[in-house]
């Protein structure tokens, strides 16, 4: 694995005096190009744990047969032990969290987004971050957000997303003037393990809903993730307050349609 030199500061070992209240968030998307369901995922860790996460990643790579880049499309019989160990480590570490937003294309009214899927997706991505950061924000706490290139034809989509995110958070009376966003920038997923893990977890969730887990290895990994939640499958969302593994299904209750899936509890992971 080659680490982007720009990310060395984030991946360095934690040092005495490092802030212990800040968060590092790695984001990815899945299902944008095809299908009826797409989503955005976010892997969260305390800023001072960034070195611990890199050590964990390197250890798994040394003890298993890893793909060149860990992502959902690379889950195969040869690489399955690596991905199984990666999923197990995620659920065993109480300082790692995963939160995602799933959107069904039929539930998106493009009239609210200038009839542009490009704009709609950017707004959904910011909606996920805004909602989750509001739940965790506190005085003195900041968030560093690292994003796989956003699926947009707009060359400065990340800059636009950061501007919108800052504005939306500042509109909250409880967050006004707190400057909770340290930075939001695009990274290369090949050099960013946090984005890769986010891709794997989100890919499993989206794939389960689409019924596209065609290989035995993918089916096995979906079942393993569901097992950690004490669920029979991944075809549900979670209560909003769940911290460890949170699935948020975008839904317009005024649409007249039935809610697309059930909400399940997994109280052991609150």
Contact 245, 266 (CB under 8 A): yes
Domain boundaries, given as residue ranges, for the chain: 23-269
Look up residue 87 and give its two tokens.
């999923």
pLDDT of residue 20: 47
pLDDT at residue 2, rounded to an integer: 42
With H, G, I as helix, E, B as strand and everything else as coil, classify residue 105.
helix
Whole-angstrom distance, CA of residue 28 vs CA of residue 9: 21
Check residue 38 and report its DSSP letter: E
204 close to 100: Cβ distance less than 8 angstroms: no
- Predicted pLDDT of residue 254: 60
What pLDDT does residue 146 have? 97
Taking Cα atoms as reference points, which of 111, 135, 122, 194 lies closest to residue 165? Answer: 122
User: Residue 171 has what DSSP assignment?
Assistant: T
CB contact at 8 A, 219 and 77: no
Query: Residue 185: enclosing H or E segment and its boundaries?
Result: strand 181-186
Share above pLDDT 70 across residues of the chain, in percent, rounded to a whole number:
84
In Å, what is the CA distance from 241 to each residue of 41, 85, 245, 246?
Answer: 16, 27, 10, 8
Those residues of the chain that have pLDDT short of 70 are 1-20, 34, 114, 153-155, 212-213, 252-257, 260, 266-270
> What are the pLDDT digits (tens) for 178-237?
889 999 999 999 999 999 999 999 999 999 988 866 799 999 999 999 999 999 999 999
Tally Cβ neighbours within 10 Å of residue 150: 20
Q: Which of the four CATH numbers 3.40.50.410, 3.30.365.10, 3.40.50.10860, 3.30.420.10 does domain 23-269 have?
A: 3.30.420.10
Q: List all residues 6 or more positions away from 32 whose beta carbon is below 8 Å from its beta carbon.
A: 38, 121, 151
Residue 232's SS3 state is coil
Instruction: Tell me the pTM.
Output: 0.88
Q: Is the dihedral of CA 61, 67, 71, 76 positive or negative?
A: negative
């Amino acid at each position: 694995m080659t680490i982007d030199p720009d990310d060395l500061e984030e991946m360095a070992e934690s040092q005495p005096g490092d802030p212990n209240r800040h968060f590092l968030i790695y984001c990815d998307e899945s299902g944008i190009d095809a299908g009826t369901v797409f989503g955005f995922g976010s892997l969260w860790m305390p800023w001072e744990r960034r070195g611990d996460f890199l050590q964990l990643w390197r250890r798994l790579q040394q003890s298993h047969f890893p793909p060149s880049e860990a992502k959902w499309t690379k889950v195969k019989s040869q690489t399955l032990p690596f991905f199984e160990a990666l999923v197990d480590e995620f659920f065993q570490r109480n300082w790692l969290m995963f939160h995602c937003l799933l959107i069904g294309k039929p539930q998106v009214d493009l009239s609210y987004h200038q009839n542009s899927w490009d704009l709609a997706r950017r707004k959904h991505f910011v909606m996920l971050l805004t909602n989750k950061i509001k739940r965790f924000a506190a005085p003195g706490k900041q968030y560093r957000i690292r994003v796989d290139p956003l699926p947009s034809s707009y060359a400065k989509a990340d800059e636009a997303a950061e501007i919108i995110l800052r504005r939306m958070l500042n509109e909250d009376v409880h967050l006004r003037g707190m400057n909770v966003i340290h930075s939001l920038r695009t990274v290369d997923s090949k050099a960013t393990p946090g984005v890769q893990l986010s891709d794997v977890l989100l890919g499993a969730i989206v794939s389960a809903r689409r019924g596209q887990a065609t290989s035995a290895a993918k089916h096995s990994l979906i079942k393993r993730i569901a097992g950690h939640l004490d669920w029979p499958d991944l075809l549900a969302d979670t209560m909003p307050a769940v911290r460890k593994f949170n699935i948020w299904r975008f839904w317009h209750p005024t649409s007249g349609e039935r809610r697309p899936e059930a909400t399940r509890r997994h109280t052991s992971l609150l």
